[in-house]
Amino acid sequence: MNPSASSNPATGKSAFARTDLVALLALLALVILLAVPMTASGVSGNHRITCLSNLKRLGQAFLLYAADNQGYAPHPTWGADLTGPSGWAYATRSDGRFSSARPAPQSQAGRTFSVAREAQLPFLKMGQVWPYVLDEDAYLCPEDFAGWDSYPTRRMWIARPWKLSSFNANGATIGYGSHPGPAGSTVRLSWFRPDDALLWEQSATDGFFFNDAGTFGGESMTSLHDGGGHVAAADGRVDWLDYKAYRQLAGERTRNRIWCYPLTRSGGSQ
């Protein structure tokens, strides 16, 4: 008998245990590899649902505000670095309403979210739709907010002057700055078509898009949610809009649901 071919019961048992352990670890690694994308997909899906719910609340707040203000829409805010008239998302003057607030909001570009929140929250709570929302989290998309502490989106988050909202209001309510009348005046919501877009989630790719809480058709919108984003319409509905479809509407410069100022045939400014 060849001694080298002999079997040792103890050795055989040990070899079987090691093999079994290797197989188990390989199986565990495979399960983890499969679970990670499923978990990430689940989180992203939950974020999308929360984002839709938040935008629905804000869209309803627009309708409630109009009902309490002779049908006029909230102001979209229209001024670089939080200047101009007070609007839906924030007030541009504190007028002594918050003892902790500065006289006017200031750009928080270059500052972290926690620092910006402390400075800007009082002005959010003085915004036109706040009484109908009463929840600062409703102004943010969790998928967008998750980017504030992640590379490379953290750099773009830090560049935002206004950090307390992921959503921007369509400047169609003031003719993209050309609406006649005193500063702060807007059109009536009833002048819009039912599917005209009043609010949508802004693109996170450029901090400049958040120099106020208003936007226009040619600016941008998010593509975070399966290549598109949510839009709150004039009739209170919220639907999903493909980013490519948004870009097509934005480039038309004819009356559509994005370019929708009611007082011009083109939907754009006067």
What's the 3-state SS for 40-82?
HHHHHHHHHHHHHHHHHHHHHHHHHHHHHCCCECCCCCCCCCC
In a domain, 224, yes or no: yes
In a domain, 209, yes or no: yes
In a domain, 148, yes or no: yes
In a domain, 240, yes or no: yes
In a domain, 122, yes or no: yes
The rounded radius of gyration (Å) of the Cα atoms in the chain is: 26
Cis peptide before 180 (omega within 30 of 0): no
| Domain count of the fold of the chain | 1
CB contact at 8 A, 209 and 202: yes
In a domain, 243, yes or no: yes
Question: How many of the other CB atoms lie within 10 Å of CB of 214?
Answer: 25
Would you give per-residue pLDDT tens digits along the chain (270 residues)? 444 444 444 444 444 466 765 666 566 555 544 444 444 445 567 888 999 999 999 999 999 999 999 999 999 999 889 999 999 999 999 988 877 678 889 999 999 999 999 999 999 999 999 999 999 999 999 999 988 777 778 889 999 999 999 999 999 999 999 999 898 999 999 999 999 999 999 999 999 999 999 999 889 999 999 999 999 999 999 999 999 999 999 999 799 999 999 999 999 998
In a domain, 42, yes or no: no
pLDDT of residue 25: 58
24's tokens? 């188990």
pLDDT of residue 217: 82
In a domain, 208, yes or no: yes
Domain containing 98 equals 57-252
* 3-class state of residue 15 by DSSP: helix
Please give the model's pTM, rounded to 2 decimal places.
Answer: 0.82
255's tokens? 């009356």
pLDDT of residue 30: 54
Q: What are phi and psi of 170, to 5 degrees?
A: -70, 125
**d(C-alpha 154, C-alpha 131), whole Å:** 31
